[in-house]
Amino acid sequence: MAQIVGGIATSHIPAIGNAIAKGLQEEPYWRPFFAGFERARAWLKEARPDVAVVIYKDHGLNFFLDKMPTFAVGAAAAYRHADEGWGLPVARPFAGDAALSWHLIESLVADAFDIVSCQEMLVDHAFTVPMSLLWPGGGEWPVKTIPIVINTVQHPLPSPKRCFHFGQAIGRAIASYPEKLRVLVLGTGGLSHQLEGARAGFINKKFDLLCLDKIVAHPEALARYTAMDLVALAGSQGVELMNWLAMRGALTGEVREIHRNYHIPISNTATGLMVLENETLPTIRHPAAA
């Protein structure tokens, strides 16, 4: 059976991709941010995932405001990045695992998540930047990938609770896949930031630190906020935290914290990194099918 080896959550700011392209990792501005990833990479070497399920937000590259699915799952053999206008180099293509994608899609729909399945899907910086942070250095990506998009862009957003439950359903889907695969679940975005309007530049360190604590031991506490609470507390793009909640939902009840990092700011954003391992074996239960 497939096994979730752990979960990682990280910010996905385009400026990070530019810093990687220019080799600025050791510069004083960047060092505290990039240093956080050394432990994550060491952990990945031991965890040896075959596949990364990447839960993120599409910022307008694949979906635009005219067609905005709440939840979408990639089901392609490969995924391409494209120029989003940030000046980022276009990332090397990512291999998919279409068989696992279709298993996830069938299981999620059986579990009452009526997702959009995408046999073609462009992946944006929220997917490519975290991948480059975790597996730097070029060459073939060492994992296959499954992109999963949650609408944290345009009203109405799903609730944090719904995203947590979506993550739990993803966890059940992975755990019921009969192939022997080691799966990493990655959630990208956050922490607090707002890029537009009167509160542009808004950061809430107190709330971010609460999120870092709660995501480990009490994710249900974060799932009790409404999406509008998150806008107020974390900024209009801070709602990307919902991707962290979905990642956490895919893990089992008890997790072990391997590593965290928090650094303010990179560009306009409070950056967070969290590496978690499953403490207990998952229970496979499909409430909607029961």
The residues binding ligand DHB (CB under 6 A) are: 12-15, 59, 189, 193, 195, 237, 267-269
Q: Is 259 a catalytic residue?
A: no
- Judged by CB, which is closer to ligand DHB: 101, or 268? 268
- State the Cα–Cα distance between residues 110 and 176, nearest whole angstrom: 13
Least distance (Å) between residue 21 CB and ligand DHB: 15
Nearest-CA neighbor of 266 among 28, 10, 13? 13
In 3-state terms, what secondary structure has residue 71?
strand
Query: Minimum CB separation from ligand DHB for residue 62, in Å?
Result: 14
User: Toward ligand DHB, which CB reaches closer, 81 or 193?
Assistant: 193
10 and 260 Cβ atoms separated by less than 8 Å: no
Q: Which amino acid is at 39?
A: R
Burial (CB count <10 Å: 0-12, 13-18, 19+), residue 202: buried
Closest CB 187 distance from ligand DHB, rounded Å: 13
- CB nearer to ligand DHB: pick between 33 and 43: 33
Q: Compute the least distance from the CB of residue 64 to ligand DHB, in Å.
A: 15
Instruction: Report in angstroms how near the CB of residue 15 gets to ligand DHB at its nearest.
Output: 6
> Which is the catalytic residue, given 12, 81, 165, 193?
193
Nearer to ligand DHB, 33 or 177 (CB): 33
Burial class (CB in 10 A: 0-12, 13-18, 19+), 95: middle
Closest CA to 90 of 68, 61, 66: 61
To the query of whether residue 125 is one of the catalytic residues in this protein, the response is yes
From 12, 59, 103, 125, the catalytic residue? 125
Q: What is the DSSP letter of 115?
A: P
Hey, how many other C-beta atoms are within 10 angstroms of the C-beta on 78? Answer: 14
Q: Which lies closer to ligand DHB via its Cβ, residue 165 or residue 193?
A: 193
Q: Annotated catalytic sites, by residue? A: 125, 193
